[in-house]
Amino acid sequence: MELHPFTIDIPQKALDDLHKRIMQTRWPDEIDGADWDYGTNLDYLKELADYWQNQFDWRKQEAMLNRFHQFNTTVDGFRIHFIHERGKGQKPLPIILTHGWPDSFFRMYKLIPLLTDPANYGGNLDDAFDVVVPSIPGYGFSDRPHEKGMNSQRIASLFTHLMTETLTYPKFGAHGGDWGSSITEMLAFDHPESMIGIHLTDVPYHHLFTIKSDDLKPEEQAYLKAGQGWQMSEGAYAMIQSTKPQTLAYGLNDSPIGLLAWILEKFRTWSDSDGNVEQKFTKDELLTNVTIYWVTQTINSANRLYYESQHTPSKTTTERTEVPTGVALFPKDLIPAPRAFVDRFYNVQHWTEMPRGGHFAALEEPELLAEDIRAFFRPLRDFA
């Protein structure tokens, strides 16, 4: 399978159209004193929209992303975009880092240099990695699926082929969060012979529905209850995207402010930001991620992953994988799972409860995450 160098170069016409659409936004009303109780706050959204319109420099962000070595290749008839950065030192360990929703490959931009060149950031050169960061099918610059069935299991198969056949790594490690954890999990269950180990920042949400509640410890029962409560208070987006994503797409694909509002609210709610999203993310970071969705027109295909996973589910992973597993839990993530629950599904050899951080750990706390990934894989390097 051939590799093709890839450079991000968004046509100026698309950026001009974006600015025009922002300028012509028809703003809704808002309840007095609503803050964020009803959803994305109007005043802050207007502030961020004004920055997007008048100060945000996509070309600067584009140039920053293009400093990474990017490629695309066709795997099983599907074009995948990915970053491939070689590590320093004698024997870097290959690792694939998989993002989730509503982010993109951009989630990993701070993490990549910490893993490829740890000695330059106070670490040990022996902990270096060859880092591969793909765009999930339907996200960013990868192809958008046009047939049913592109679920986590299918994506894991594509990524295994990418790593073992295209990039010729016989064995590799994997890390992921959100959808990235589901895809990484499927790498372990379906392709254990290729895996050195997997590292997760959360337990895939579907496990809440695949376990018998009468066989759980008290802390596991509390976890299931918290999951049910979260689903009722915060999970409406997932229900919509799992059932009627096409209806949602007409608004989000047509209105940049609608798209920004839909994604921004998750970055604020799911991060360790104490309600101030800019404590963890700059305006440029928030808007770079959203602009990737906008210029690639991938919000619909990204949202559809929820539908595909609901209607064409991956095989039920109720069994336990023996692939070595590391888990780093960040306290402000959605619902951090207790150790007893995680042990049911994974061969946990490394467990860390972080002092801070939320759902977007690679963007929020890249140093903490990088050190945990290094520590987990350190004793596994001889098995590469």
Task: Give me Rg for the CA atoms of the chain.
Answer: 20
Residue 232, Cα to own-chain centre: how many angstroms? 23
User: DSSP assignment of 270-318, as one string?
Assistant: TSSSTT-GGGTS-HHHHHHHHHHHHHHT-HHHHHHHHHHHHHSPPPP--
3-class DSSP state for residue 341? helix
Q: Is 4 a catalytic residue?
A: no
Tell me the residue length of the chain. Answer: 384
Residues with Cβ < 8 Å from 82, sequence gap 6 or more? 70, 71, 72, 73, 105, 132, 133, 134, 135, 162
**Catalytic residue chosen out of the listed positions 103, 127, 130, 178:** 178
Q: Is 69 a catalytic residue?
A: no
**Catalytic residue chosen out of the listed positions 81, 199, 359, 372:** 359
With contact defined as beta carbons under 8 Å apart, do 270 and 361 qualify? no
**Catalytic residue chosen out of the listed positions 306, 346, 350, 372:** 306
Q: Is 143 a catalytic residue?
A: no
For 227, other C-beta atoms within 10 Å of its C-beta total 18
With contact defined as beta carbons under 8 Å apart, do 139 and 102 qualify? no
Per DSSP, helices labelled H in 138-244 are 152-161, 179-190, 218-234, 236-243
Active site residues: 178, 306, 359
